[in-house]
Amino acid sequence: MSKPTLKSVAKALGVSTATISNAFNRPDQLSVALREKVLSACAELGYDGPNKAAQSLRKGSSGIVAVILSDSLEYMVSDPVASQFLQGVARELERQQKHLLLFSGSSTNLDTITDFVDGFICYGAPRNLRLIEQLRQCPKRVLTVDFDLPGRPSVNIDNEQAAYDSAMAVLKPNDVVAVLGLRLIDALDSRPVADAPMWDNLSSVSHRRLDGYQRAMGELGLTLADDALWHIPESNQHFAEVAAKAVLSQSPRPTVLLCMSDLIGLSAMRVALQLGVQIPEQLRVVGFDGIEETLRYHPTLSSVWQFSDKKGEAAARAFQSGQDDNQLLPYELRLGESS
């Protein structure tokens, strides 16, 4: 038995196709009694409404916005910064009566969803760099967050200036500095960057933060040793502890750790305290992001607060507005007990 269509159902009920469509999509156009009668009859015939994909193609809008995450869904939904961002996006899209679709940055291509969404909010440079080229060529609206794509609007903070501010707040002349970076090179483990080629240097916020750190160090006459710049592939405790243990075993031992995320900073402080290193007397630590855990941990972590939920709301509003400018959002440097 063939699946009922809009036309066949309208014929069977003796009403127009517009009446059937209105019953599902524009209830204000029908009386309550007529709509209930039509919906009940449709249910008996096994008809569940007009084809949504076809409707989207006709209207040119599905009401669905895809958020492309920088990494796998499993990793990103467990990351507190990404979770804050997604809360903000979801809250604003709900106000706009739009829907949210999450898409992994590790996926092979966008073809499976491009026809069914109104466009893309890309949160961070996707791990699969081929997606960046597809986004460049995508005919749908694309807005980026925490990385830049030429010709597309973006929502960011000034990562270089924020990193510079945080470094200047904790650095002193004659300091020994180590940087615990995030996704600086193409490697799946924590390791010194050394002479490895930098990953996605033009668009990555991690490189902008590194630029800020290095500018601050340069103004104070400080240099970064070859083994003092570390790549950490993911912002989590395990990878951060591997790097922190290695860095804090060096001689001379660093007096300052510049950390590109709060999770990295908190993990480094735990390692330091386990080794008997006093904070901030022997080691000063500054993070980046502004997650609530920094306030509950002792010593509290100095950090750049970028208010990721507000960033998510701003990204959703900017996407919907259709404007093509680049927005720089405010941030705050909050000094805690770690500096």
> What total of structural domains would you count in the chain?
3
Q: Which tokens is 181 given?
A: 């970076």
108-114 contacts at long range (C-beta below 8 A, 24 or more positions apart): 109/134, 110/68, 110/134, 110/135, 110/138, 113/66, 114/138, 114/140
DSSP-assigned states of every residue in 25-78: H-GGGS-HHHHHHHHHHHHHHT---S-HHHHHHHHT--SEEEEEESS-HHHHHH
Same domain, 171 and 246: yes
Q: Is residue 89, in this structure, part of any structural domain at all?
A: yes
Co-location of 152 and 167 in the same domain: no
H or E stretch including 272? helix 262-274
Judgement on whether residues 99 and 223 belong to the same structural domain of the protein: no
- Written as one string, the DSSP assignment of 163-209 is HHHHHHHH--TT--EEEEEES-BS-SS-EE-TTPPBSSTTT-HHHHH
Q: Which one-letter amino acid corresponds to residue 119?
A: G
**Whether 246 and 141 share a structural domain:** no
- Take residue 224 and report the two structure tokens written for it: 């970064």
- Check residue 288 and give left, alpha or beta (phi > 0: left; psi -120 to 50: alpha): beta
> 264: number of CA atoms within 13 Å, CB side?
30
Residues of the chain with pLDDT under 70: 1, 51-61, 200-203
Report the pLDDT value the prediction gives residue 30, as an integer from 0 to 100: 85
> Does residue 252 share a domain with residue 283?
yes
173 plus 259 within the same structural domain: yes
pLDDT value of position 327: 94
Give residues with Cβ within 8 angstroms of 311, minimum separation 6: 85, 88, 145, 155, 157, 329
Q: Within this chain, do residues 173 and 268 fall inside the same structural domain, yes or no?
A: yes
- Kindly report the backbone phi and psi dihedral angles of residue 298, in degrees, each rounded to the nearest multiple of 5, phi listed first: -120, 125
CATH of the domain at 273: 3.40.50.2300
At residue 112, the pLDDT reads: 82
d(CA 163, CA 165): 5
- Is position 324 within any domain? no
Which pLDDT does position 70 carry in this prediction?
84
**b/e code 23-41 from CB counts within 10 Å (16+ = b):** bbeeeeebeeeebeebbeb
**CATH code for position 11:** 1.10.260.40
Q: Can you tell me the distance from the alpha carbon of 28 to that of 50, in angstroms, rounded to the nearest whole number?
A: 17
Residues in the chain: 339
Give the torsion sign (CA, 149, 154, 156, 159): positive
DSSP one-letter string for 277-325: --TTTT-EEEEEE--THHHHSSSPPEEEE--HHHHHHHHHHHHHH----
Answer whether residue 42 is part of any domain: yes
Domain that holds residue 14: 6-50
